[in-house]
Structure 1
């Protein structure tokens, strides 16, 4: 995270509790954050559990989170609480792209940004 430039620099991925080099060269990228998202992530980082890997979203114990646990414990629960139908976590990428197109963001930029890249 680069709080000053409001960017996330993706340089590694997490697979089976191990950090590794991303699968493709295009997966190594910078993600631009809106002012609001940068502020929210910064506030969260100040109160999230401390951890050795500088994770933004660690487990409550400060460890690496497991995708399946996050989906089952938090994502699906949040959907139910909001009265929304259950969808896959992957569906968020498509919703994000649709919202970004709706507000007039450049389609080529969206294609090359995090919303259209494999997150895992």
Structure 2
């Protein structure tokens, strides 16, 4: 808002924003096409509210020409890099990265995971909520509220992790000393990026685990419905009813992900001195 919208449009009231001014803003905006589209979407939400309150009438977005979508190179981790990251991390971050790598869930979603969301008996994980600016909130759409199976290797790892897990008032899988949810941005800056520098891996956000997971799903031939449900993409719930049971395909894919991601874990464990019960490596 401050960097783009207020800088260029702070002196323009919404009622005075016409198509010419809006097009001039878009054409003169020195940022990539995705950012421009996000800025226009923000303006449109503001304008829609103003129209609902009777402050504006003319639609300045009619006929607006937006820049073409550019191809953005998505940063991702290779399988080797993912294994090195997990094998080099200390607990509780090793568990954090292991979940991200196998499930592909978002940073905000993993920070809101509760122990109650783990059905280890049936090897299933439930994503129900996320963290936004330190606040826990329910996912905003049916596509985001999802459940899917996890591998036997990840189940075993989580059982070991929970042996030394400290209970907190919210029942969060990852919580600060005060019992508040982790801030994935702070985890990235303070723990994740230093580890990547140490390993000589280019710096990425946690979304690189998500892209890597999607790549693995493609490589092992996961059916599209399985991919979309695991990643929480809209198309999964558009093409399917939301009532969801674990299918044979989903169980097969979870087992295959566990086999691929954790195949060398035992060797990596031998190369490291034992830390404590909390640092049990995925078998």
TM class by smaller structure = 0.7 to 0.9
Bigger Rg over Cα:
2
Partner of 1:82: 199
The two structures, once aligned, show a CA RMSD in angstroms of 2.1
Which of 20, 26, 37 is the aligned partner of 2:137?
20
Under a length normalisation based on structure 1, what TM-score does the superposition of the two structures give?
0.82
| Larger strand proportion of the pair | 1
Match of 1:64 in 2: 181
Higher normalized contact order (CA 8 Å, seq sep 6+, divided by chain length): 2
Query: In the alignment, what sits opposite 1:48?
Result: 165
Aligned mates of 1:100, 1:30 — CA distance in 2: 17
60-69 or 73-82, which deviates more = 60-69
Query: C-alpha distance in 2, partners of 1:43/1:36?
Result: 11
Q: Deviations over 1:57-101 (max 9, x none)?
A: 223554311121111112112212222111122121111111222
Structure 1 gap segments, 5+ residues each: none
Instruction: Point out the structure with the larger helix share.
Output: 2
Evaluate the alpha carbon distance shift between residue 49 and residue 73 of structure 1 in structure 2; reply closer, same or farther with a 3 A threshold: farther
Residue 6 of structure 1 contacts residue 33 of structure 1 at CA under 8 Å; is this kept in 2?
yes
TM-score (norm 2): 0.38
Structure 2: give runs of 5+ residues left out of the alignment.
Answer: 1-117, 235-283
Q: Which runs of 4+ in 1 moved over 4 A?
A: none
Q: Which residue of 1 aligns with 2:146?
A: 29
Answer whether contact 1:49 1:61 (CA < 8 A) is retained: no
| Aligned positions, number | 117
Write out per-residue CA displacement over residues 34-60 of structure 1, whole angstroms, 9 at most, x where no aligned residue: 000111122112213331111112235
- SS for the counterpart of 1:44 is helix
Alpha-carbon distance in structure 1 between the residues aligned to 2:229 and 2:146: 9
